[in-house]
Amino acid sequence: MSQSSNRNDRFWTQLEAYVLGALEPEEAARLEAHLPSCPECRERLKELEQAMEALPAALSALGPLAPAELKAQVLAAIANEPAAQPAAPAAPGHEMVLVSKGKDPAEPGRRPGGRLVTSTTIMRLAAAAVLLLALAWSVRLTVALEQERAIKEEFATLVSQQEIVLEVVDSDKTVRRVLRTTGPGGCEPGSCPYGKLFTRTDLHHVVAMAARLPSPPAGESYRLWVTANGLTEPAGTLTLDDKGFGLLVFDADRAGEIYERAELILQRGKSRTPDGDVVLRWTPSSE
């Protein structure tokens, strides 16, 4: 430990007991006076208090793995209330201590709402706290690893999608179809919604883009429907960014698929039919 550190090992070792309310009033007061000058102890105390707050949920998650009596004792200690069990005198050789962090000068050795438990119980509570703290860190680590894996998968998907977009859009084998608005005329030049459908004669991949679209109402979404060989099927949902741009990549049934129609429809839910308001459309006659 560096000489600049204000941490005192005696106070450091008392933090667990302090969180459990097992320190004598004088010791608790000395620890509290030490905390403002020791950032290490304050940080450790914060971690322990967070672990204690998480104990009820952790005990619930453990289910039958945690004894019912221990659950009741831990929860009662946290709530500073008596456990739901008959009071019993301390066994010989077991010192009686109080689980509470409050103070009552009128009654030495007891705090308002406090209860007397044996030192053995305190040890069990402390052991449970340490065990569940380790469990909490394990859960946090697992969640962090899962989040990292999900981010990596999302990044890999994004990179793969970008490569597909470049392959399909930027090629001399690309066929481009323009989806035009079906609404009433009158939009200002450069502000009308539009879309494009890109296919390649040698690939299954298809890229659809749309721009200048308003955000869909709650519960509705933009779904792209394509027609080939007289059969109309959904190609996917177009998700917009905050500027009204959306990108969709999907695979056709065969390389170089020739579509007879493409429509972007504003729909509620995930209908199996292309019902709803047609926002953008391409047909051979619209070219």
pLDDT for residue 186: 60
Looking at the chain, the number of H-run helices and the number of E-run strands are: 5, 10
Angle between helices 9-20 and 39-62 (to 10 degrees): 40
Closest CA to 197 of 216, 225, 157, 159: 225
Contact indicator for 162, 146 with CB cutoff of 8 Å? no
The CATH number of 174-286 is which of 1.20.1070, 1.20.120, 2.40.50, 2.60.40? 2.60.40
Contacts of 164 (CB under 8 A, 6+ apart): 205, 207, 249
pLDDT for residue 224: 95
pLDDT for residue 262: 95
Can you give the pTM of this predicted structure? Answer: 0.47
CATH 2.60.40 domain locations along the chain:
174-286
pLDDT for residue 9: 81
DSSP string, 225-273: EEEETTEEEEEEEE-B-TTS-EEEEEE-SSTT---SEEEEEEEES--SS
Structure tokens at 10: 């005696």
pLDDT for residue 156: 60
pLDDT for residue 83: 46
pLDDT for residue 206: 93
pLDDT for residue 113: 39
**Which residues of the chain carry a pLDDT beneath 50?**
1-4, 65, 81-119
Torsion of CA 161, 163, 169, 174, to 10 degrees: -110
